[in-house]
């Protein structure tokens, strides 16, 4: 069985990048990094504070630096922030340094999954559905252009999503041996 490359998760807010990334890394016994969390740890402040004080451009600059560092690691799983694909530097780093998985869900699911959250500054507004629809229109082409595979996360447990990612990634790196991939033993 061929070694897997770095696995990078992209996709919109609430698609499950952080949740699935952690599970996926545990399954592969690999380190897991979440770029949003790493930015907060380095800055010593949460994302709403960074947006308040430095604006979105300040946050994006920190994100470019963090994604550059995380994508240079080896044998890792990295969950990115929902807007990482907005910057060309990030798209290039992700594409060149690993296999990129686009986690996709519906706006309806995003609304449910992010309903009580106060840590996503771009969703602290009255018209969240409109904002999410507009983001989908602007970002879906970027997620598609950056990713190697797309996996839906609505109406599926995180465990089932992890299994599908592994099946598809193994098939991508080694089509002939994918059938005997170890993840086939993982229960749903
Ligand atoms: N497949 C799933 N089924 C049901 N709930 C899920 C699924 N994946 C994630 N969730 C839930 O959705 C919420 C948002 O997930 P998560 O924080 O992983 O999203 P994210 O893609 O990392 O978002 P962001 O871009 O804002 O960091 C969490 O409460 C998580 O438990
Ligand atoms: O979709 C976005 O632009 C964002 C998503 C989050 O992961 C954070 O990176 C931040 O809240 C911005
Ligand atoms: Mg996240």
Just give the CATH number of 7-185. 3.40.50.300
pLDDT digits (tens, 9 = 90+) for 25-78: 999 999 999 999 999 999 999 999 999 999 999 999 999 999 999 999 999 999
Radius of gyration of the chain (CA): 16
d(CA 145, CA 104): 14
Ligand 2 center from residue 123 Cα (angstroms): 9
Computed over every residue of the chain, the mean pLDDT equals 93
Tokens encoding 37: 């969390």
pLDDT digits (tens, 9 = 90+) for 122-133: 999 989 999 999
Q: Which of 184, 178, 167 is nearest to 1 (CA)?
A: 178
Residue written as tokens 């983001």?
135
Q: Which of 98, 86, 181 is nearest to 142 (CA)?
A: 86
For residue 116, pLDDT beyond 60: yes
- Annotated binding residue at 21? no
pLDDT digits (tens, 9 = 90+) for 102-115: 999 999 999 999 99
Q: Is the CB of 109 under 6 A from ligand 1?
A: no
Q: Which of 24, 70, 37, 19 is nearest to 183 (CA)?
A: 24
Q: Is the CB of 95 under 6 A from ligand 1?
A: no
Q: Which of 98, 95, 57, 62 is nearest to 77 (CA)?
A: 98
Mutate to test the pocket of ligand 2, among 120, 139, 143 (most ligand atoms within 8 A of CB): 120
Neighbours of 172 (CB within 10 A): 14
- Which ligand is nearest to the Cα of residue 13, counting in written order? 1
d(CA 82, CA 36): 9
Neighbours of 127 (CB within 10 A): 10
For residue 179, pLDDT beyond 60: no
Q: What is the pLDDT of residue 177?
A: 65
Domain range annotation of the chain: 7-185
Angstrom CA distances, 18 to 3, 15, 33, 92, 94, stand at 23, 9, 9, 21, 16
pLDDT above 70 as % of the chain: 93
- Annotated binding residue at 60? yes
- ipTM given for this complex: 0.96
For residue 81, pLDDT beyond 60: yes
d(CA 79, CA 86): 15
Q: Is the CB of 159 under 6 A from ligand 1?
A: no
Contacts of 142 (CB under 8 A, 6+ apart): 85, 86, 91
d(CA 87, CA 56): 12
Q: What is the pLDDT of residue 47?
A: 97
Mean pLDDT of all residues in 82-107: 98
Q: How confident is the model at residue 185 (pLDDT cuts 50, 70, 90)?
A: very low
């Amino acid at each position: 069985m061929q070694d897997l490359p770095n696995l990078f998760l992209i996709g919109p807010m609430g698609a499950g990048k952080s949740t699935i990334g952690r599970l996926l890394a545990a399954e592969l016994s690999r380190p897991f990094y979440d770029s949003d969390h790493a930015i907060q740890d380095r800055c010593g402040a949460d994302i709403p504070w960074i947006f308040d004080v430095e604006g979105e451009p300040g946050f994006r600059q920190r994100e470019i630096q963090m994604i550059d560092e995380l994508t240079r690691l080896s044998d890792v799983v990295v969950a990115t922030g929902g807007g990482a694909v907005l910057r060309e530097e990030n798209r290039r780093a992700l594409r060149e340094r690993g296999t990129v998985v686009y986690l996709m869900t519906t706006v309806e699911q995003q609304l449910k999954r992010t309903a009580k959250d106060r840590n996503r500054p771009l969703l602290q507004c009255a018209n969240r559905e409109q904002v999410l629809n507009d983001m989908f229109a602007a970002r879906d082409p970027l997620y598609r252009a950056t990713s190697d595979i797309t996996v839906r996360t609505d109406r599926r447990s995180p465990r089932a999503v992890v299994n599908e990612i592994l099946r598809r990634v193994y098939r991508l790196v080694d089509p002939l041996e994918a059938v005997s991939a170890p993840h086939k033993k993982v229960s749903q």
